[in-house]
Structure 1
Amino acid sequence: MKSDIITQQLQAEQITIQEALHKVGHQGKYQKMAYAFFCFQWILGGCLLMSPIFIFEKPQFQCQQNPQFTIEQCEKWVCQQENPLQYQVKKLSSFVVEFDPPLICSRQWIADTVAALNYGGSIIGFLISIYISDNKGRKIASIIFWFIGALGCAFIGIFNYNIWLSALGFSLANAGVNPTITIHFCFINEHSDGNFREYTSASLNIFYSIGSFYLVVAYVLSTNWVQIIVYWIGIPMFVSLIYYYFIYEPPLFLYEKNKMKAIESLNKIAKFNKRPEVQADSLKEREIEQNQNQRIYGVFDLVKFKSMRLTTICTGIVFFITQISYYGTNFTLSQIGLDTKYNTLAIAFSELLAFSLVVIAIPKLKRRKWSFILTAIYSLIYIIFFFIKKPDNCTEYCKENILQIALISLSRCLLSFQFSLCYVYFSEIYPTTIRSLGLGFISTIGQIGSAVSAYIVTYFNNQNISPIGIMGICSFISIIAYLPLRETYSQPLKNEIDEIQSETSLNFGKQLTNFQSQITNHDL
């Protein structure tokens, strides 16, 4: 009799962590406040990550003394002159022309290397941040890396006279900013739910595109590239660190580590949202053994388990190719279409449109299907660039330039839609316990693509082959990587790796059976 009563008590209804989150408010004042702060960080992050468009802008040359020269012949002739910059079409104030001699012609490799180090810093940042974020906490990781990003901007301002010290500053800035804004997806997935979670995850990218507009304003109002980095990005980053005082560790993340800390976080959110608190005995225990409760996750876990191995490989391939296509086109904006600032504005408008449409459509879109379709379409548009040949007498507003900027704007709109959708998709495809680890790792792979994009553009330009067309071929091939991935649309988020969940559920069941047997024997 007693055993039946105790069994009934053990099976008494308790709320899950998701139900507890709904009780304290899954889309309340706290979530909206945190989202607003994240949006501000995405504006600064977008400005920094898009800044190489202007910082590494290469001069275009004119050869009035030799009007019969083609564009390629003109550039070769200019590089043979004592002062190549006197032949530039417009006077630039970029990192490339800051030094004497400038980082063009035979020194172009230096500019490409610094650009690679600029994005390469994110690789180191991601590798470190994924460990800290998944094992120490989302909040502490965000604070550390946002500070590193701000410190990198300050470093650039102090040592802008030195090529390699500036390169170190660029690396630090990207090593801090990129991991921080990626961790935001973990925050949103783990402290909100429902349509609010989907809308806020997707709409972060809108503020990334607003960062592009912010960059153009900074470019127009500033006298040089150093002011953009220091005054328009670095100082606001330092000041914004104070807002982390109001940000809590997300409860779904804490629940996988420590139930009492999760309850503490839930009740802080409840207080902020003016909702009822959660009592410790009302929250279900996680089905995991005590000695596994403090499990440390690492990159090896992404390939160790069969359920995650193919997922990690395929999502890594998608991010690698996507970021080559995305950031690679940034390095071509001074060579195609209109003036660089007008090209950037056109890109910013197209991305803003894409990210806005994602917010509206995300609750209705199947992730895998539409990622596949969008990648195929923008890849084909990129391939068209193989067939656009500008005549030597092409003016700024000739039909070929207009066609180029129209096509690149359309393709970037589709690419941005796909990129935003993939961030939501891939943040859903990884379980809570390794979500930051998974996103961080594939973002690291993506940053390798970003780092090599400058070399790709320079190499194929020197071969007189359209680098955008090459990116289109690679992107089209990459759609194969979507095929093995599972669909996450309308599916509940996983909390744990399948193999670990199965093992711990089995152990929990054995413990419960043994406990009930002990009670029965005691009654007898």
Structure 2
Amino acid sequence: MLDFDYLLHQIGGIGRYQTLIFLMISFYAIPSGLNTLSPVFISYSPAFRYSYDTVACQERLDLSCVNTSKPTLQCDEFHFDRDIFTETTVTQFQLVCQRRVLNSVGSSMYMAGLFIGALVFGNLSDILGRKLAGIVGAYGTLFSMLAVAYSNRVEWFIVARCLTAAFVMGTTIAIFTHLMEIVDSKWRTILGISYQMIFAVGYMIWSAIAYLYRDWHDMQLGSIVVSAPLALIILCIPESPRWLFSRNKDRQGKKVTNSMAKVNRIKLSDAIWQNAEMSDGKTDCQKKFSTIELFRHRGMAILTIKLAVNWCVNSMVYYGISLNAGSLAGDLFLNNIYAGIFEIASFIVVILLMDRVGRRMLLTITLTGAGVALLTSTVVNEYAEGVQVLVSTGVVLAFIGKAMVAASFAIVYNFTGELYPTVVRSNGLALGAMTARIGGILAPYIISLQDSISWLPNTIFGLSAVVGGLLSLTIRDTTGMVMMENMDEAEIFYAGGDIVKRKSVSSPSRAYDNNGAVMMDESATSF
């Protein structure tokens, strides 16, 4: 097995190759954001009236003409306010009254689809490779999105959304893992968080799509058009060389690594390849690990449980706030953009502080801070009583809470990728994503509690965030460490030991220097 960290140091922790791969991989964050938060628009629930005489409204588009003095009828006739959207899933499938629960079911099934995708693609990505898993997931995403657009029954809509979610998560796991594997620890933070920023851009695009197209079918087709370039981009992304070496596919790994070096204008000499040879005879690369492996060893099992709780809380709070955006005071389209701006700002702060403050401490600060902001917002809203200053303060605090939990969510993605060795890294990310979906599945039902007790949902979200943030303090930090390759290194780290530079380098004096790395002539290759 070859020491890819040593090779990466010779090639450069970041360069033209990694930048190009990042740009291609990060495009997928746009359809990911579009799909995940589409219910804010396509499932918008407008005001409606039912069980009244609406004969006088036949030539009117508003609700002012409804005769409310007539006796109420059964809850089976509806007149929707279509001033904002001409058709949404709520109006087409009449998801009100007794059928209202189907709206929550639809959102929960999307989260269940993410769970399924994490379960299936986590193993596929580690067994078949990042590239193949990414291709299957990307094309599955596009075709499932098309199925959503042409759904004419709520049952088909829910199933199509569930499939979309499975492929969205599958692709995300494969390509995000790939991204983390081709850059050094310093750049993992910047690129990993930047990927999350583009996710925010993805859902911000919904404001433009929904403003132009007011029928949910047209909105969905618009999101497909925006996502379509993915079909070509995903084919151009090569396999992760770190994964190839971890699977003992040295020939293919060397080919991709040489391509990396060529694009970065570095020539890898024979001496470098000899130094990269692992001398300790590790055999993990020849094994196939499943998610169960995360619980076989005490140190890894304890870590996995802590991360599972953290992922669950992050997801529940993030999607709880996001899916309830329609209930915030103000303009729906602008609120969506404001939320994205706050989120991107929080990511910039994370990039600036993550390597200085550390993963563990920043995760604790952001998640706990999100909880405090939500709890404060809840108190302010309860006592606002129409006072505009208090109403606006409550909205701003909600945006701050969303921005902080988004930052926390981005940190836990990076943190998890660094806490597991290469041979089970995708499994670890997949399990985290699966447990996150438990929180995501619960979020719509917790939101529905506001119909009975207005302050209860945000109280649950806020308290959960505080508990999850404090739990993060018990996880060991990974700031600045080399990525673990195998189970032996992982157990040493979990037991409190340090991962040192590997024995692949022939002499200490040459450890991780650039001896043998020759800069290529500028005209030798083009980017």
CA contact (8 A) 1:390 1:400 kept: no
In the TM superposition, residue 286 of structure 1 has moved relative to its aligned partner by 6.0
Q: Give runs of aligned pairs for residues 43-442 of structure 1, distance below 5 A.
A: 43-60=30-47, 83-86=77-80, 93-99=87-93, 102-158=94-150, 160-232=151-223, 234-258=224-248, 259-277=250-268, 279=270, 281-285=274-278, 287-288=280-281, 292-389=284-381, 394=386, 398-442=388-432
Give the corresponding residue for 1:34. Answer: 21
Other structure's SS at 1:416 match: helix
Sequence identity (%): 19
In the TM superposition, residue 481 of structure 1 has moved relative to its aligned partner by 2.5
**Separation in 2 of the partners of 1:402 and 1:139?**
46
CA contact (8 A) 1:354 1:414 kept: yes
Give 1:173's aligned amino acid.
Answer: T
**Separation in 2 of the partners of 1:112 and 1:286?**
55
**What residue ranges of structure 1 are gaps of 5+ in the alignment?**
1-13, 66-73, 503-508, 510-524
Q: 2:11 aligns with which of 24, 33, 41?
A: 24
Per-residue CA deviations over 1:213-256 (Å, capped at 9, x if unaligned) read 21111111113222232232x34444322223432222222221
CA contact (8 A) 1:302 1:308 kept: yes
Other structure's SS at 1:85 match: strand
Per-residue CA deviations over 1:251-300 (Å, capped at 9, x if unaligned) read 2222211133322221122233332135454531363455x542111111
CA contact (8 A) 1:17 1:252 kept: yes
Give 1:487's aligned amino acid.
Answer: D
Per-residue CA deviations over 1:80-112 (Å, capped at 9, x if unaligned) read 66534346885553211112xx10121111111
Other structure's SS at 2:286 match: coil
**Separation in 2 of the partners of 1:483 and 1:465?**
28
**Separation in 1 of the partners of 2:403 and 2:486?**
35
What is the total number of aligned residue pairs between the two structures?
474
**Separation in 1 of the partners of 2:490 and 2:153?**
51
Give 2:42's aligned amino acid.
Answer: I
Per-residue CA deviations over 1:180-238 (Å, capped at 9, x if unaligned) read 22333311221121433321112111111111221111111113222232232x34444
Per-residue CA deviations over 1:87-144 (Å, capped at 9, x if unaligned) read 6885553211112xx1012111111111111221111111110111111101111111
Give 1:183's aligned amino acid.
Answer: A
Q: Structure 1 residues 78 and 146, CA, compared in 2 at 3 Å: closer, same or farther? A: farther
Other structure's SS at 1:27 match: coil
Give 2:442's aligned amino acid.
Answer: V
CA contact (8 A) 1:60 1:89 kept: no
Other structure's SS at 1:276 match: strand
Q: Structure 1 residues 244 and 334, CA, compared in 2 at 3 Å: closer, same or farther? A: closer
**Separation in 2 of the partners of 1:98 and 1:401?**
32
Q: Structure 1 residues 501 and 287, CA, compared in 2 at 3 Å: closer, same or farther? A: farther
Q: Structure 1 residues 261 and 455, CA, compared in 2 at 3 Å: closer, same or farther? A: same
Aligned Cα root-mean-square deviation (Å): 2.9
Using the size of structure 1 for normalisation, the TM-score is 0.83
Give the corresponding residue for 1:520. Answer: none
Using the size of structure 2 for normalisation, the TM-score is 0.83
Q: Structure 1 residues 304 and 392, CA, compared in 2 at 3 Å: closer, same or farther? A: closer
In the TM superposition, residue 450 of structure 1 has moved relative to its aligned partner by 1.0
**Separation in 1 of the partners of 2:131 and 2:72?**
52
Give the corresponding residue for 2:520. Answer: none
CA contact (8 A) 1:337 1:403 kept: no
Per-residue CA deviations over 1:432-489 (Å, capped at 9, x if unaligned) read 1111110111111101211221111113433444311221112222234313311111
Other structure's SS at 1:219 match: helix
Other structure's SS at 1:334 match: helix
CA contact (8 A) 2:378 2:394 kept: no
CA contact (8 A) 1:366 1:489 kept: yes
In the TM superposition, residue 378 of structure 1 has moved relative to its aligned partner by 1.6
**Separation in 1 of the partners of 2:396 and 2:205?**
22
**Separation in 1 of the partners of 2:163 and 2:130?**
20
Give 2:416's aligned amino acid.
Answer: F
**Separation in 1 of the partners of 2:220 and 2:433?**
23
Give 1:283's aligned amino acid.
Answer: A
Per-residue CA deviations over 1:43-65 (Å, capped at 9, x if unaligned) read 221122121211222224589x9
Other structure's SS at 1:296 match: coil
CA contact (8 A) 1:152 1:172 kept: yes
**Separation in 2 of the partners of 1:392 and 1:260?**
66
Q: Structure 1 residues 62 and 128, CA, compared in 2 at 3 Å: closer, same or farther? A: same
Per-residue CA deviations over 1:381-429 (Å, capped at 9, x if unaligned) read 21124424568984xx933431221111111122122222222111111
Determine whether 1:490 maps to 2:470: no
Determine whether 1:471 maps to 2:471: no
**Separation in 1 of the partners of 2:302 and 2:424?**
15
CA contact (8 A) 2:238 2:256 kept: yes
Q: Structure 1 residues 229 and 424, CA, compared in 2 at 3 Å: closer, same or farther? A: same
CA contact (8 A) 1:315 1:481 kept: no
Give 2:116's aligned amino acid.
Answer: I
**What residue ranges of structure 2 are gaps of 5+ in the alignment?**
53-67, 493-502, 504-527
CA contact (8 A) 1:79 1:105 kept: no
Moved more, 146-155 or 194-203: 194-203
In the TM superposition, residue 16 of structure 1 has moved relative to its aligned partner by 3.8
**Separation in 2 of the partners of 1:39 and 1:174?**
18
CA contact (8 A) 1:305 1:499 kept: no
Other structure's SS at 2:480 match: coil
